[in-house]
Structure 1
Amino acid sequence: MRVAIVHDWLYVVGGAERVLEQLLRIYPGADVYALFDFLPEADRARLGYAHARTSFLQRMPFARTRHRNYLPLMPLAIEQFDLSAYDLIISSSYAVAKGVLTGPDQLHISYVHSPMRYAWDMQHTYLRESGCEAGAKSLVARFILHHMRVWDFRTAAGPNAIVANSAFVARRIKKVYGRTAEVIHPPITLSSQRFDGPRGNHFLVASRLVPYKNVEAVVRAFARLPDLQLVVAGSGPDAAHLRAIAGPNVSFAGFVSDEGLRHLMATARAFIFAAEEDFGIIVLEASAEGTPVLALGRGGVRETVQVRGPQRTGMFFDTPDPEAVAACVRGFIEQEDRFTREACRAQAEMFSADLFRIRFSRFVEEQLALHRAACETRPRILPRLEAVG
């Protein structure tokens, strides 16, 4: 059985690329396709492939740094991949990968990290943060996004089966595509060594510093909590603004290595997450370090943080504003001793890479069996009209 894995694009290693890594462990001989691939060789080796077969976008000017400018060409580019030699095609899609062209005798399973958020329910947020709310630039952007929605909806009929990375995304898929998706949560990397030392005095935020991550709400919340310490890890365009509004009890670590981030998580009193995400792998990474999570109670975190029962792993706040965050932190402090490292780690282990491979492999085998049975079924041929006469 020849297998192709189609990924949107490859230029950083994030959550979607961790899924790709596990898919390549399941199918180590698979060929990898992507619109473009600018990963260094070390990252490619880490993910499990030597080179990807890329589209014409790989050779376009400034594709490495301004690839989003080529969004209108991406549907055309993904449709140029000739996958006719493969029996099984797996697309790992958060933009256009699910739109590859496949035949009736090929099985196409699409792991959808999310429908294109900037073209659907987050269009207005995207336009606002891009400075495209009004004027000629806005008109062009809205026209492009409209056509992306039309293409995205049409190509949703292509895969034989769709897998969602969370029940939250499955609901979005049902709403915008009208299709039912199987939920298989993405894998997280569990720590090889457990930290059982004392906790520090700090609360932790780790995020790219952009508006929709709502880090500003957390920073302003700690202005109301002057006796508590907050550490902000990460970089981004909002960094200077956040430093300007932060009080003396807020420190900025900037970009930190994976090892450094794990240590900050393990020694934090709690990890604070104020964004609405499709899944939120970093939340489970904090749990894997035995650290409780205080999160905005929307999106995928509702499936990964236990807020009831004796094995609680965190608490939710309802809105991403300073008052709600501060109230949640105060509520956590009142019952801090009820949260254990063991409960947090046990929750994270339910999302391990081993379990992901088992669940995904089982789903593919089920779909292969159904597909083969459908291909072997002979259609009933109606008699010719003259024979009936």
Structure 2
Amino acid sequence: MKNNPRLKIALVHEYLVKLGGAEKVLAVFAEMFPDAPIFTMLYDEKICGKVFPKERIKVSGLNKLPEFIKNKRRYLFPLMPKTIENFDFSDYDIVISSNSAYCHGIITNSNTFHICYCHSPMRYAWDWYHEYKDEQRVGFFKKMIISYLMKKIRIWDKAASDRPDVYIANSKNVQNRLKKYYRTNSLIIYPPVDINRFKVQKTHEDYFLIVSTLTPYKKIDLAIKLFNKIGKKLIIIGSGNEMQYLKNISENNIEFLGYKNDQEVSEYMQNCRALIFPGEEDFGIAPIEAQACGKPVLGLEKGGLKETIISGKTGELFSEPTIESMENALAKLIDNEKFYDTELMRKNAERFGKEVFVERIRDIIKSVIRKP
């Protein structure tokens, strides 16, 4: 990019209201392109301001809504398509969208090249549609309204899927879903993991660890029910709208720590027995971080973990999201604990290092620049 000082780049991300895996990817984009503004529909400076300073943020009018409404943003989904389309990118040469639902739908002119880095097509409109309806815990008539609105969203989503010039999928799993729902081809570039933040530690303390946002699809309740049953210590780092519910169903062997900064998370990972990852993710950064520490991962054999965990060598995968299936895999992990090769786990994690990601993104930018 230094050879093209006049090139103007913008970044887009749906919401900056938490710091999860998608935000870690955005942070690397922001570091790569320090002059690029970040367009977003909602912004919480208290939570995200240190990583994404207010001076770089261009936020939509939705951010003026009262806090109690913004905190229920899943009910704002009918407003999102129009909101994302209202952003004006006519002054920019390249726009990179960090997409989990709506960002692929930005409108750019013929002189602006749109690169969509896709964490996932809109989950609750497609493959997780029925689970999403059930999670709302509403009555029959409200579910009918949700069904009607979702039909409208799917029509918009499919039309908007033609707008990016290039799709980058964060995993083979997402690439397959882009092909299924959008009928589009994509490149695969795995999300960047800051491997150097972690040190291999061959010893451990007597606890298992979860690092996750506490939302229904993460299936944290499944892990809690298992650890309630077996009585082993489980530490949970993260926050989210399921926090109180999960606390209510937990026994005394389960500890909730809430949000922790990167350094604190690193220390807990380096000292745990294993990372527990019970939900289906399109990629999943935390399992890579755990392997970078030389720690095995217990996870569901679906989604991105099939690409990042070598079962029997860097962790154990369970086939069904049930207590029985998970318990059997955990027993196997504990039995094999002394045989896991910490250096092999580290080497596996290095496949997903930040340097690899940056190099491949820059190659794509260079190819765009060379186009007539």
TM-score normalised by length of structure 1: 0.86
Runs of at least 5 residues in structure 2 that lack an aligned partner in the other structure: 1-6
Matching residue within 211, 214, 219 for 2:219: 214
Q: Is 2:155 the counterpart of 1:150? A: yes
Partner of 1:314 in structure 2? Answer: 315
Unaligned runs of 5+ in 1: 374-389
Query: Partner of 1:359 in structure 2?
Result: 360
User: Could you tell me how far 1:235 is from its partner in structure 2?
Assistant: 4.4
1:108 is aligned to 114
Structure 2 residue matching 1:8: 3-state secondary structure:
strand
C-alpha distance in structure 2 between counterparts of 1:129 and 1:28, whole Å: 39
Query: For residues 31 and 203 of structure 1, do their structure 2 counterparts lie closer, same or farther at Cα, with a shift above 3 Å needed?
Result: closer
Q: Supply the distance in 1 between the matched residues of 2:10 and 2:107 (Cα, whole angstroms).
A: 12
CA distance in 2, matches of 1:215, 1:261: 18
Aligned counterparts of 1:89 and 1:323: Cα–Cα separation in 2:
46
State the distance in 1 between where 2:184 and 2:42 align: 29
Which deviates further from its counterpart, 150-159 or 204-213? 204-213
CA-atom RMSD in angstroms: 2.3
Which residue number corresponds to residue 62 of structure 2? 57
Secondary structure, counterpart of 2:88 in structure 1? coil
What are the Cα deviations for residues 51-89 of structure 1, in whole angstroms up to 9, with x where unaligned? 322222222344542333322111111112221121111
Q: Distance in 1 between matches of 2:18 and 2:324?
A: 35
Trace 1:188-227 onto structure 2 (pairs within 5 A).
Answer: 188-192=193-197, 194=199, 196=201, 198-223=203-228, 225-226=230-231
Q: How does 1:1-389 map to 2 (within 5 A)?
A: 1-40=7-46, 43-47=48-52, 50-62=55-67, 64-132=70-138, 134-192=139-197, 194=199, 196=201, 198-223=203-228, 225-226=230-231, 228-236=232-240, 238-239=242-243, 242-243=246-247, 245-246=249-250, 250-258=253-261, 259-307=263-311, 312-369=313-370, 372-373=371-372
**Is the Cα contact below 8 Å between 2:281 and 2:304 reproduced in 1?**
yes
Opposite residue 222 of structure 2, the aligned amino acid is A
What displacement does 1:25 show?
Answer: 2.3
1:196-239 deviation per Cα after TM superposition (whole angstroms, max 9, x unaligned) = 3621222223333443322232233335545x443344445555
- Kept after mapping to 1: 8 A contact 2:239/2:259: no
Contact 1:91 1:98 (8 Å CA) reproduced: yes
Distance in 2 between the 1:283 and 1:7 partners?
23
CA distance in 1, matches of 2:13, 2:166: 16
Q: Quick one: structure 1 residues 66 and 256, their matched pair in 2 at CA, closer, same or farther if it must change by over 3 Å?
A: closer
Cα separation, 1, equivalents of 2:240 and 2:286: 17
Give the TM-score normalised by structure 2.
0.89
Distance 1:359 1:333, change over 3 A: same
Q: Which has the larger radius of gyration?
A: 1
Question: Could you tell me how far apart the structure 1 residues matched to 2:24 and 2:328 are?
Answer: 35
Assess, with a 3 A threshold, how the Cα gap between structure 1 residues 58 and 222 changes in structure 2: closer, same or farther.
closer
Q: Return the alpha-carbon distance in structure 2 between the equivalents of residues 210 and 83 of structure 1.
A: 33
Distance 1:23 1:165 in 2: 14
Task: Indicate how the Cα distance of structure 1 residues 220 and 54 shifts in structure 2: closer, same or farther if over 3 A, else same.
Answer: closer
Structure 1 residue 313: deviation in Å? 1.0
Which SS does the other structure have where 1:159 is aligned? coil
Residue type at the aligned position of 1:155: A
Matched residues in 1 for 2:113 and 2:59: separation?
21
CA separation in 2, counterparts of 1:247 and 1:359? 46
Rate the CA distance shift 1:289–1:207 in 2: closer, same or farther, 3 A.
Answer: same
Number of residue-to-residue matches in the alignment: 364
Cα displacement string for residues 299-336 of structure 1 (whole angstroms, at most 9, x for unaligned residues) = 0111111226xxx2111110111111111111122222
Moved more, 204-213 or 321-330: 204-213
2-side partners of 1:97 and 1:49: how far apart? 20
CA 1:193/1:143 → structure 2, altered by over 3 Å: closer, same or farther? closer
Decide whether the 8 Å contact of 1:2 with 1:86 is kept in 2: yes
> Which residue identity does 1:145 align to in structure 2?
M
CA distance, structure 2, for counterparts of residue 155 and residue 352 of structure 1: 31
- Structure 2 distance, partners of 1:189, 1:28, is 18
Change (3 A) 1:149 1:316: same
Look up the equivalent residue of 2:316 and give its one-letter code: M
Q: 1:244 to 1:14 in 2, by over 3 A?
A: closer
